[in-house]
């Protein structure tokens, strides 16, 4: 069984998600767009002051970029790659999200 057997949708959707993730990552890594981070944009000013905004953007931007970089490999190799790679990608995405949350709540605080 290959990843193509697990695929149920068109490939262009993955490419659109890839472009969106790269664009958001670029905005966050440039030090702008902290309002794109869920939870940070709705936090009151006294909570926002506890975080280093640029460092928070770098952490979240790097995490999103890591996921975005793996997406094209999953799409381009789906005819050859075994099905377990899809589950490994899902596991990596979950682990990356957990690491981003931990880093955002530890090293990004002032």
What is the pTM assigned to this prediction?
0.84
- For the stretch 94-107, pLDDT in tens is 999 999 999 999 99
Torsion, Cα 25 28 32 33, to 10 degrees, reads: 80
- For the stretch 39-53, pLDDT in tens is 888 889 999 899 999
pLDDT at residue 22 greater than cutoff 70:
yes
pLDDT at residue 7 greater than cutoff 80:
no
Task: Quote the percentage of the chain above a pLDDT of 90.
Answer: 52
């Amino acid at each position: 069984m290959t990843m193509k057997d697990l695929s149920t949708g068109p490939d262009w959707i993955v490419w659109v998600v890839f472009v969106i993730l790269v664009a958001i990552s670029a905005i966050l890594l440039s030090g702008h767009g902290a309002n794109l981070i869920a939870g940070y944009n709705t936090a009151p000013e006294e909570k926002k002051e506890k975080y280093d905004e640029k460092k928070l953007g770098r952490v979240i931007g790097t995490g999103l970029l890591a996921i975005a970089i793996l997406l094209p490999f999953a799409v381009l190799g789906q005819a050859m790659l075994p099905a377990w790679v899809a589950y490994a990608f899902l596991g990596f995405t979950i682990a990356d999200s957990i690491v981003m949350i931990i880093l955002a709540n530890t090293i990004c605080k002032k």
